[in-house]
């Protein structure tokens, strides 16, 4: 579904049927503890970019709303990722853990 910014995100949900005006981020809602979502968070949210770059079904994204040290008024979504297959944290969610989808041999560098 398209976010208020106009980017596709599977975690964003909106319901405008019969006069309803409901919007929510289900990724932030599922966080522990649940995070408060506002539409401005979608402007800088990295989730749509991560999911366009890596659609691994073994990767779970966890979201937290944080504030910057330099700009205390700017709230941003911080993402951490966990791989179910390798049972480890993923350092770069855009790339993945490296175990689920190895590169084909043609791309390996031979020494």
- Give the model confidence (pLDDT) of 60-75 as tens digits: 999 999 987 777 778 8
Predicted TM-score (pTM) of the model is 0.79
Give me the residue spans of the domains in the chain. 12-103
Q: Which residue has the tokens 């949900």?
A: 13
Burial 7-39 (b: 16+ CB within 10 A, else e): eebebbeeeeeeeeeebebebbeebeeebebee
Which letter does DSSP use for residue 17 in this model? G
Confidence class of residue 11 from pLDDT cuts 50, 70 and 90? very high
């Amino acid at each position: 579904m398209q976010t208020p910014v106009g980017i596709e995100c599977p975690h964003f949900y909106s319901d405008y049927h019969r006069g309803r005006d409901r919007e929510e981020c289900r990724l932030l809602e599922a966080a522990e503890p649940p995070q408060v979502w506002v539409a401005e968070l979608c402007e800088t949210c990295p989730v749509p970019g991560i999911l366009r770059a890596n659609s691994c079904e073994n990767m779970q994204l966890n979201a937290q709303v944080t504030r910057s040290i330099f700009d205390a008024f700017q709230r941003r979504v911080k993402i951490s990722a966990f791989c179910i297959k390798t049972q480890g944290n993923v350092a770069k969610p855009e790339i993945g853990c490296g175990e689920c989808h190895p590169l084909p041999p043609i791309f390996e560098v031979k020494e």
